[in-house]
Structure 1
Amino acid sequence: MITPAIGTQELYKHLELLIQSDTPVFIHGSPGIGKSYIVNDIAQKHNFEIRDIRLSQLDAVDLRGIPSIENSQTKWMPPVFLPDDENSEGILFLDELNSAPLSVQAAIYQLVLDRKIGEYSLPKGWRIICAGNKIDDKGIVFKLPSPLINRMVHIVLEAKYDDFKVWAIQNNIHSYIIGFLGFRPDLLSSEMPSATEANPAFATPRAWNMLSNILDISHDASAIAPIIYGTVGYGAGIEFSSFVQVYKTLPNIDAILEGQSEQVPEEPSALYALCAALIEKYKKDEHGENIFTYAKKLPVEFNVMLIKDLIVKDESIAELESFEEWLEKYENFIL
């Protein structure tokens, strides 16, 4: 039986519960879908310290520490990356656990279950979160020993476009990418290419984020085609490059936001691109009422999508008079 996967928004909720109950958890997920980002984000929101330990780079002796002689007895000196302040609070993030050597995994047993390793004890205010790639992700992954498996809650994380879109809008991801993935959400993540393919790149949320940073500097996608292919893979890159050409056919975005244009594209690809471009340039104080006037001219599904996404960008849009009128008419579409 396949374990159901969850998205990032659901993972946030579950991690909050597991942190409160002090229950160790292992997050399974493909590379580049945000495992490390989410753990670091939760730590920041709680004002926790975080120790990010990449276990695949350690030996078992690195965890227990170096022995020294004290009063004619051997004493193990714990490594500096393990917290030692009894009054501190934080998250001990054990990343790449299932890529670590078996000797390291065995050394983690006691730390996960008893919060100890050798003579070292984890301070009470610290929580343990582990993460690693899935076995079928073509990476270096070892099956976890059953005693270690049974010491943690296991959650499978999956990249889901709706979750990525919320994050993308809030973090100013380039409109080309938001528009394209709205049109082709299945390309948010793609399978890793085989070892025989010349281009090893593949699409992930992390790869799209990298491409967004590149596009912020070079808006001419046609001039950086090799970089696009080398970031998200050839197949997704070809489709993305073709989609970007749609932006050249759009009505004037500034004119729409200023209430001076009523043009509406007919092609779905152009409508996705249009909505993404409107969201990127929208400013409540300047365009608040005009955006609702224009939204009425869009097909219902794009009308609703546009306003919902604008709420993600700026919740204060709900304070406008036009929003109440819009909500009364379309509330059944947003439940």
Structure 2
Amino acid sequence: MPTHALPATQLDVAADLLALLRDTTTEPRPDPQLEALTLAVAADLPVLLWGEPGIGKTASLTQLAAALDLPLTTVIASVHEPSDFSGLPVVGDDPAEQGVPMAPPDWAVRLVKAGRGLLFLDELSTAPPAVQAALLRVVLERRIGALRLPAGVRIVAAANPRSSAADGWELSAPLANRFVHLQWAHDHEVVVRGLAGTWPRATLPRLDPEQLPQAVEFARRAVGGLLSGRPGLVHRLPSGEARRGGPWPSPRSWEMTQCLVAFATAAGASRDVLSLLVRGTVGDGPGLELLACVDRMELPDPEVLLADPAGAELPERGDLRQAALDGVVEAVRARPDKERWDAAWALLVRALETGAPDLVVVPASTLASLRAADWDVPASIERLAGVVSLSRRADRAAATVKAGVGGR
């Protein structure tokens, strides 16, 4: 008998409209917080996204799982019992001989069978203390009952600040210290473009295979160098309960930080991304100290710069370039001779040609004061004299204006 197509109902038409609304695309777009998330996921470290309700944390995780081709398993921590994470006791045939095994929940079994996936622990800040305690082993050891999650499973959690969480709790210090904490905020342009149908694309970082040994050595020197000079930063448990629920320094979190520095170095990540990661692991204060230590390590050797001023590669960032030029002047001061003094002037000319002119004012003035009486003035000084003179006139004008305002 011939079959006739049934007429579309209004619900069918509504489903078609919903499908069109969900039909979106992605595009490569610089997004430091998304890049930090993917770097931490690549490093196989648990990540905790903090943000106000409706900010897009869940949507970002869904898009990340799809982009990485990982099956997403969402577990709402606040609606589970502690036994859902530690395992339910199941009495076997001979408990006296075999013991009582702890049976894992179905979602854990599915993850183990798949061998890979993204475990999303949502609403973590609404989980009561007993559930948070049960999650400790899940997050750190990847164990749920008698099962161990395979290496292909990554863990990401999300939480709202206690002030905006439904019946929220502060995160316990032991659980908080197991996460990389990322503050999730919306970008106006990203939201507008996403609502128009195009969202940023999440991709795993491209690690340079040739840079892996150097990245590990760099990370170890950075973290080890900081902690050897600042032993008080090795373990510092915050005094307030609220601050204990965020990132703070411990041997565990420093090990995570070292891993993230290595991954960021091998991936060529920006300073903004590295800042999000290290401050989200050991806290703002220790994280900023580590970033300063990294900056000092990345400064070029003054002797290398003096050896070849014409081919010298100076840092792009203004503060690092200023520090590099100051280091060159101090190297000349420590071992002054005519050849090194001339090389320093040639380097300042190169800095003038490739960067902001005001950065050479102080080093040029200091270098001029190091001249010995029998040293001829190099021709390159003429190219710098105008910059120094202009800077001094600007300083005098600013001082005059300030004095005039103050005298009124």
TM-score (norm 1): 0.47
Bigger Cα Rg: 2
